[in-house]
C-alpha cells in the first residue's frame, strides 16, 4: 500500500515538473503577445496555450505517452481534452478580461485549472487501469 502511495506521489511530482516547463512557455509567450504586440486577452492566451500544448505533447511523448500501450490513442485522448478545454478557457478568460480582471490573474487561474484537470485526464482516462507499474517480485522471478 505504501509503495503504491509513493508511486502516485512520484507520478504527480513528475507531471507537475513537466507542467511547470509548459507553464513557463505559456507565461512568457502570453507576456510577449500581450505586452510587446499589445494583443487583447483571448488571442494572447490562445496562442500561448497552443505553444504550451505543443511543448507538452513533445515532452510527454518521450516521457509519459511511451508508457501507454497505445501511444496514438493516448495522444488522441489528450487531444480531445484540449478540444474541450481550449474553447471553454478562451471564452471564460476573455469574459473575465472584459470585466476588467487582471489578465495575469486570469492566466494563472486558467493554468491551475488546466494542471488539475489534465492530470486527472492522464491518470483516469489516458492510463486508467493500464497505468504502468513496477514488476512484482513474483514477475521478476519468472
Q: Give the pLDDT confidence of 54-99 residue by residue, as tens digits.
A: 898 888 777 766 677 787 888 899 999 999 999 999 999 999 999 9
CB 52 within 8 Å of CB 25 = yes
- pLDDT tier, 135 (very low <50, low <70, confident <90, very high otherwise): very low
**What confidence tier does 127 reach under pLDDT thresholds 50, 70, 90?**
confident
- Summarised one tens digit per residue, pLDDT across range 5-55 is 787 788 778 888 888 999 999 999 999 999 999 999 999 999 999 999 989
Q: What is the tally of helices (H) and strands (E) in the chain?
A: 5, 0
Domain ranges of the chain: 2-131
Confirm if 22 and 115 have CB atoms less than 8 A apart. Answer: no
pLDDT of residue 8: 75
DSSP of 33-95: IIIIS---HHHHHHHHHHHHHHHHHHHHHHHTGGGSSSHHHHHHHHHHHHHHHHHHHHHHHHH
- Nearest-angstrom CA–CA distance, 110 and 15: 17
- Confidence tier at 136 by pLDDT (50, 70, 90): very low
Q: In which band, very low, low, confident or very high, does the pLDDT at 122 lie, cut at 50, 70 and 90?
A: confident
Across the range 117-140, mean pLDDT stands at 68
Beta carbons within 8 Å of 60's beta carbon, 6+ residues apart: 18, 78
Confidence bin at 138 (pLDDT 50/70/90): very low
C-alpha cell at 141: 522471478
Residue 63, φ and ψ in degrees, nearest 5: -115, -45
76 compared with 142, residue with greater pLDDT: 76
Contacts of 15 (CB under 8 A, 6+ apart): 64, 119, 122
Amino acid at each position: 500500500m505504501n509503495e503504491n502511495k509513493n508511486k502516485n506521489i512520484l507520478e504527480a511530482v513528475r507531471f507537475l515538473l513537466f507542467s511547470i516547463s509548459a507553464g513557463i512557455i505559456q507565461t512568457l509567450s502570453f507576456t510577449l503577445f500581450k505586452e510587446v504586440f499589445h494583443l487583447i486577452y483571448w488571442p494572447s492566451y490562445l496562442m500561448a496555450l497552443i505553444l504550451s500544448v505543443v511543448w507538452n505533447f513533445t515532452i510527454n511523448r518521450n516521457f509519459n505517452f511511451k508508457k501507454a500501450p497505445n501511444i496514438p490513442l493516448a495522444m488522441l485522448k489528450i487531444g480531445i481534452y484540449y478540444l474541450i478545454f481550449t474553447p471553454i478557457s478562451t471564452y471564460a478568460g476573455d469574459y473575465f478580461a472584459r470585466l476588467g480582471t487582471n489578465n495575469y490573474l486570469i492566466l494563472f487561474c486558467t493554468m491551475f485549472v488546466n494542471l488539475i484537470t489534465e492530470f486527472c485526464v492522464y491518470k483516469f482516462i489516458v492510463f486508467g487501469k493500464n497505468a504502468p507499474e513496477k514488476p512484482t517480485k513474483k514477475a521478476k522471478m519468472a
